[in-house]
Amino acid sequence: MVRAALSGCLVAILATAAAADKLVLTDGRVFTGTVSVESDTVQIAVPYGTLRFDKTMVERIELMDTPEQEFRKKLADTDLDDPNALFGLAQWAGQKKLTRQATDLYNLTLKLAPGHAGAHKGLGHILIGKTWQPFEAALAQARGKLEAGSYEVLLEDIIPALKQAAPTRADSLEVTDLLGHAQLRSRQFIRAEATFTELAELARKSEPPAVDLAVRAGAIAEILHANSDGMYVLKETYPPSSVLLGATDSQVMPGPASLARPLALEAALRDEAKTEIEAGRELLEEAQKLSATEPDLGNIKYALADQAFQRADAMIPHIARAHRVDIARRKIAGLRKDADADAKDFDDQMAKLGVKDMPPSAYSTMILRMIHHLDSTREDLRRIVELAQVYPKDLVLELKWAELDLTRIENMRKILVTELDGRK
C-alpha cells in the first residue's frame, strides 16, 4: 500500500524534474537552467526565458542535478518501510523547498507510524491533549478551551504551537487574537494590552490589511490601557436589550466589572462603538444640511460619517449597519435628484423635436445633446445600483427602480444612436 502510494509520488516527481545546469561564459557571467546545444549556439532555459549564446562565448557547461533529481536518487536509496528514513528524507525535501514531496513523505511516514511526532509537526499538526490535529481543527479546539476557561494549557502549550504552525498570515493574526483573549481572561491585563497593540499593528500592516481586526484590537488595547487594573465601569446593563426584553442568565449589571469577563469586554467595546456612532450621526446631520448647498463638502462629511460607522461595526459587528444604510439611502436620494434633472432636460429637448424645421446639422446636435443627457442619467443610475447592491434587502426598491430605469435608458440610447448613425 505504502509502496503503491510512493510510486504515485515518484511519477509526480519525475514529471516535474528539470535539470539545473550551469553555463559559464568567457566574460565570467554564469547562468543556471536547462542547457541544450544546437550547431553553433548554446541555449539555456532560465526561469525568465531562453537565452542563446554563440559557442565561442561559452567557457564551460557544468551539468548538475536539480533538487528533484537529487531527491529521486535519495528516494531510491531510502528504505520505504522505515518511517524514520522517510521522515529524514521528508525533512531534507522540506529544506530544499520541495514542499509537495515533503508533505507526501510526512503523510507516508504517518501511515507507517501514526504517532510520529516529527511527521505531525512537519505537516503543521498540533498536539492537543493526546491527539494530533490539523491547524484548523486545533484552532477551533483552542477556541473551545478559551470558552471552557482552560487558560493555562492554552497559554503554555497550545497557542505557542499554533503560532509556530500557522500556515498563513491571516491564521497567525487569529492565533495572536486568541492569545490576547486568553491573557485577558486569565487576568494578565498588561500582557493582553501589549498583545492587542501588537495585533492591531500586524493587522494594519498585513496584505491586504485586516482593517476590522486592527480597529477592534486597537480599541481593546486602548480600553486595557485606560483600565490597567482590569476593572471597567459599565454605565448600563449589558446586553443593553436585556432590560427591555427581559433579564437573561448572562448579563452584567451597571457598575464595576472585570474586563476578564467576556461580556464586560463586549460592553466596553460597545461603549466605544456607541461613541463612534454618535460622532457619525452628527457628521451625517451636517452632511445632510450641506448636501443641498455644498455637495462636495457634504460628500466629505458623508465619507467621514461612514468611516465612523465602519469603525463601530468593526468593534461590534453590524451595530451601525442601519446608519450605513441611511448614508446609502441619502446618497441615492441626491443622485436621483440629479438623474431626474437630467431626465427633465432630456424631455425638454425631446419636446422640441419635430415641432419646428431645423437643418440636419442642428438636428444632429440636438440628438447628441439628448444622448449626453441620457449618459449623464445613466451614470447616476449606475452609481445608485452600485450603492444599493451593498444592501439589497434594505434598498430593494431603490435597486429595482434604478435597474428598470437603466434598461429603459439603454433602449432609448440605442434608438438615438441608430438615428444619429443613419444621418451620417
Partner 1 sequence: MAGNRRYIAVLAVLVGAASLGAAILGPPSYCPTVEQVQQALDDLRDGRYAQAEREALAITANTEEPNPRAWAIVAAARQRNRRYALAASAYRQFLAEADCPDSREFAIEQIRSCEAQAHPRPVPVAAPSKRLSGRQLAELAEVDERTCAESSEHFIVRANNARLARLVAVEAEVALDRICRVILAGQEYPHSVAINVWPDARSFHANAREAAEWAGGGFTYSCENGLITRQIDLTQRDANGRFAAVMLDRVLPHEMCHLVLKELFGDAACPLFLNEGLAMMAEFEPENSRIRLAGRTVAGKASRKLKDLFVARRYSIDEPLVFYAESYSFMEFLHGRLSPAQFRDFLLNVQAGCTVTDALQRSLYVPADDSFLADLAGAWEDHAIEQTQFLEALASRDPKR
Q: Given candidates 16, 168, 228, 250, which one binds partner 1 under the rule CB under 8 A?
A: 228
Q: Which of 188, 133, 130, 197 is nearest to 155 (CA)?
A: 188
Applying CB under 8 A, which part among 64-72, 220-228, 338-346, 381-389 lies near partner 1?
220-228
Alpha-carbon span 159 to 372, nearest angstrom: 62
DSSP 8-state assignment for residue 257: E
Q: Given candidates 223, 257, 328, 395, which one binds partner 1 under the rule CB under 8 A?
A: 257
Taking the complex as a whole, the smallest distance from the CB of residue 341 to partner 1 amounts, in Å, to 24
What is the x/- site pattern for partner 1, positions 159-188, by CB under 8 A?
Answer: ----------------------------x-
Q: Given candidates 47, 49, 208, 246, which one binds partner 1 under the rule CB under 8 A?
A: 246
> Is the distance from CB of 227 to CB of 259 less than 8 angstroms?
yes
Q: Does 239 bind partner 1 (CB under 8 A)?
A: yes
Q: Does 270 bind partner 1 (CB under 8 A)?
A: yes
The 10 Å Cβ neighbour count of residue 52 is 10
Choice between 255 and 392, CB closer to partner 1 = 255
Q: Does 36 bind partner 1 (CB under 8 A)?
A: no
Q: Given candidates 52, 225, 289, 400, which one binds partner 1 under the rule CB under 8 A?
A: 225
By CB atoms closer than 10 A (0-12, 13-18, 19+), residue 148 is exposed
Q: Given candidates 77, 229, 296, 357, which one binds partner 1 under the rule CB under 8 A?
A: 229
Alpha-carbon span 160 to 152, nearest angstrom: 12
Q: Does 392 bind partner 1 (CB under 8 A)?
A: no
What is the x/- site pattern for partner 1, positions 282-321, by CB under 8 A?
Answer: ----------------------------------xxxx-x
Q: DSSP for 201-224? A: HHHHHSSS--HHHHHHHHHHHHHH
Taking the complex as a whole, the smallest distance from the CB of residue 286 to partner 1 amounts, in Å, to 15
Task: Give 281's Cβ-side CA count (13 Å radius).
Answer: 10
DSSP 8-state assignment for residue 78: S
Residue with cell 460592553: 267
Q: Does 200 bind partner 1 (CB under 8 A)?
A: no
Choice between 135 and 238, CB closer to partner 1 = 238
Choice between 97 and 318, CB closer to partner 1 = 318
Choice between 313 and 405, CB closer to partner 1 = 313
Alpha-carbon span 335 to 332, nearest angstrom: 5
Alpha-carbon span 125 to 133, nearest angstrom: 5
Q: Does 273 bind partner 1 (CB under 8 A)?
A: yes
42 strand-pairing partners:
37, 53
Instruction: Count the residues of the shown chain that bind partner 1, applying the rule CB under 8 A.
Output: 40
Applying CB under 8 A, which part among 104-112, 155-163, 273-281, 362-370 lies near partner 1?
273-281
Q: What angle do CA 289, 290, 293 make, to 5 degrees?
A: 115
Q: Does 189 bind partner 1 (CB under 8 A)?
A: yes
24 strand-pairing partners:
30, 60
Cα distance from N-terminal residue to C-terminal residue, the chain: 77
Residue with cell 549556439: 41
Q: Does 233 bind partner 1 (CB under 8 A)?
A: yes
The 10 Å Cβ neighbour count of residue 245 is 9
Q: What angle do CA 284, 287, 293 make, to 5 degrees?
A: 160
Q: Give the max Cα distance, the chain.
A: 98
Q: Does 219 bind partner 1 (CB under 8 A)?
A: no
Q: Given candidates 236, 338, 345, 403, which one binds partner 1 under the rule CB under 8 A?
A: 236
Q: Does 262 bind partner 1 (CB under 8 A)?
A: no
Q: Does 333 bind partner 1 (CB under 8 A)?
A: no
36 strand-pairing partners:
43
Output the nine-digit C-alpha cell for 62. Answer: 557544468
Q: Does 217 bind partner 1 (CB under 8 A)?
A: no
Applying CB under 8 A, which part among 36-44, 172-180, 253-261, 292-300 lies near partner 1?
253-261
Q: Does 226 bind partner 1 (CB under 8 A)?
A: yes
Choice between 277 and 409, CB closer to partner 1 = 277
Output the nine-digit C-alpha cell for 183. Answer: 491573557
Binding residues vs partner 1 (CB under 8 A): 187, 189-190, 193, 225-226, 228-231, 233, 235-236, 239-241, 243-246, 253-258, 260-261, 270-271, 273-274, 277, 316-319, 321-323
